Structure 1
């Protein structure tokens, strides 16, 4: 398996409570985040199906492992990628700082076999998805995306 460690930060000109409300409502993400194709509720977890800028799909199951409103949402992923995601929100003078840390291993054979060649493309793909997510979240909130970094 190939490991990836991503950290994305967004600064959104909106109160933390509004940002938290959209992030915790992940079953609704497909209505505003164009790369989230579907979120399916299954007992105590959710299956996410993502389409990507590189025209492949990823599916994985998410189980929440820590929720501390409105600051922390930690999850475990199993499927096409296995690992841990951590959303951290902080109120700052200009609005809300959102930090997303995504530590995963790919489980698809083709991704692992071609990782030595595709890693830069996979990193670009992730960053494009997250950049679009920050813009879409800000737009949904009627706010300004002040900064987005991956």
Structure 2
């Protein structure tokens, strides 16, 4: 119960290169999501070695300070990262061209490190999981909205 494992797949109505460009708009992230604070990056690109820094405030009574180090980056196909801070783990994001857009597959596993998160995971795991899943939904919706900024059709949605 001290770990959040996640797998998901989402379709976006833009080609992988265009979606990659949207993901690199780091300077816009805090304006896209109310749950994100103190976002910064060592570089303005999704390149190996870049570290993203953020505080995530899900709709539950805890927050996470995270550092996300890009361990591998192959534009516009794959990002591999390690996560450190209040939670530790790994993440992989794959972008593939599908149906005139991009299919994004994500996988991550996070272990709770900070004492408050470890206690929350022990006594309120379903609430923690719910908060995590809401943040994922909001992140996908935010990226989809930005990707749709130049298109007329939202496409088939999640798959």
TM over 0.5: yes
Q: CA separation of 1:72/1:15 partners in 2, compared to 1, >3 Å: closer, same or farther?
A: same
What 5-or-longer segments of structure 1 have no aligned partner? none
Aligned match of 1:15:
15
Aligned match of 2:52:
46
Counting strand residues as a fraction of each chain, which structure ranks higher?
1
Deviations 1:22-45 (A, max 9, x none): 224445422323322231235852
Q: CA separation of 1:28/1:86 partners in 2, compared to 1, >3 Å: closer, same or farther?
A: farther
Task: Measure how far apart 1:76 and its partner are.
Answer: 0.9
Aligned match of 1:147:
157
What 5-or-longer segments of structure 2 have no aligned partner? 44-49
Q: Is the 8 A contact 1:138 1:145 kept in 2?
A: no
Task: Measure how far apart 1:122 and its partner are.
Answer: 1.3
Q: CA separation of 1:146/1:57 partners in 2, compared to 1, >3 Å: closer, same or farther?
A: farther
Matches within 5 A, 1:1-150: 2-42=2-42, 44-142=50-148, 144=154, 146-148=156-158
Q: Mean Cα displacement is larger for which, 104-113 or 1-10?
A: 1-10
Task: Measure how far apart 1:88 and its partner are.
Answer: 0.9
Q: Tell me how far apart the structure 2 counterparts of residues 14 and 118 of structure 1 sit (CA, whole Å).
A: 38
SS of residue paired to 2:117 = helix
Q: Tell me how far apart the structure 2 counterparts of residues 84 and 25 of structure 1 sit (CA, whole Å).
A: 22
Q: CA separation of 1:60/1:8 partners in 2, compared to 1, >3 Å: closer, same or farther?
A: same
Q: What TM-score do the two structures reach when normalised by structure 1?
A: 0.86
Q: What TM-score do the two structures reach when normalised by structure 2?
A: 0.81
Give me the CA root mean square deviation. 2.2
